[in-house]
Chain A
Amino acid sequence: MIYWDHAASTPPYDEVIQTMTEVMKKHYGNPSSIHRMGEDAARLIKRAREVCAASLHVKPPEVILTTGATEGNNMAIKGTAMQYGSRGKHIITTQIEHPSVYDSCLELEKHGYEVTYLPVDSKGMVNPSEVASTVRKDTILVSVMHVNNETGAVQPLAEIGQAVKQANPLTIFHIDGVQGFGKLPVQLEEWKADLYTLSAHKIRGPKGTGVLYKREGITLHPLLSGGKQESGLRAGTENIPGFVAMSKAMRMAAEQTDTFMREVGALKSALLAWIRKTPSLELNSFEEGAPHIVNVSFPGMKAEVLLHTLEEHGMLVSTKSACSSKTAEPSRVLLAMGRSGDAASSAIRISMGMTNTQQDLDRLLAALETAVNRLQPLRQEGMK
């Protein structure tokens, strides 16, 4: 089996697993306890927070430790809405966000907030000037992802951040950075980011851990009530082994970003070149996108069929995002890019990591070729 689903989750680094095991075994104290074991646990959290902060070039108090991106995105969006609802009720996001952002916004609409879902062009990009003209006096939040999880499209965050702050300096700018960290340079200051979400299991860290960066001076209304952990922003006993291991994964991923871009980017270029030569396939990803995601449609063939055919050949890929791949609907992201229903229902996502090699890619290309040739005659237009 060769794993081509790194945008869904990644194989943890051996070092991460080792850290998890050792810390879990040794430091089971509760960081809120005031005896020695509690203090040691608290010190581990403190150190983990420092390492996470250093990887993002921010200050340790600006790092909130979470259970992952779903929590981070919910906390960023709902927490901002609840905190700053008296300032305004308008929120801007895009049509291509991850469900944890998109559905949070849908939820807020039920509570009297007004949400603008910005369209994207055929390459899946948001237009910064459209952001600029949409921000209003009562816009409290703009939420845009760094890298799209289905197509790998990279948003022009510096321009968008500039546009947001120029139009309304009080508007909070949130970035869902889940698919970008470790894959592309992250420049929170240049982007003018106020909030930035990260998940550890996408960067070879443990599941159930993540970071929400919250710029100094921004207040969020907590979603969980209880203890005073995370400065009162997130009640609940800290996941000590998880957070320590996450800090290690973040440090390693940040240090390896250049290598990732170079090595995985080379695999992607080769894959793109092969797909371009195959007339029955339509690309939804582009050279200028993130180095690890290739989304391709095989119009007329349900994505699941291609996926299972590839699986027979030992290639594990995915359809849409893992979080919505079990629903049978066409991809909302691809429809937003103006793709046909056929194209949006037949797309698979191949997402790569540093554990993939050139030999892996050769096998993938062979498998793709066989699968496409076999399924080609069975295609139906306007399929359901």
Chain B
Amino acid sequence: MSHLTGLAPSDLPSELRFLQYPSSKESTYLPAIRQLISNDLSEPYSICVYRYFLYQWGDLCFMALDADDKLIGVVISKLEAHRGGPMRGYIAMLAVREEYRGKGIATRLVRMAIDIMIERDADEIALETEVTNTAAMKLYERLGFLRSKRLHRYYLNGNSAFRFVLYIKESAATLRYEDYDPELPPSA
């Protein structure tokens, strides 16, 4: 199964530690998280955006750290009833340091977040990614996500996005059809 779901933990660089974001240590980790994520964005998110997620759903944020506690990868997400309908998990940000890519780190981080979401009764999980982001699309598709729609000129740079959705429960399908609008007004 490892070929399908990302590398088995043993294939990951062994010096890496994966841990849930400890809210009490904001000053230790938040600057590094912001730094890592804004590397791939043309316009940074304000600290409010990070706190919006981390303060309310810090337990849905996972980090990969190397032996020196340097941040290598991070996923930030949330989970709440979507417009009074399904419990929807949403993966807001994901990044892995360039030199560490392609080793299954992001897959592992995303899976940790998804596992908690499922534990907390998620009906479905959604996210957006740029239509040219092959690595991210491949990662999510291998986990079972499907493209549900295309979002025209979604990003500030004029690029379009795909919305990816993963149904966790059969009930997700029977809940009222809604064309939900983008969650995270994007930057990239």
- Please determine whether chains A and B interact with each other in the same assembly: no
What residues make up the interface of A, taking CB atoms closer than 8 Å to B? none
What residues make up the interface of B, taking CB atoms closer than 8 Å to A? none
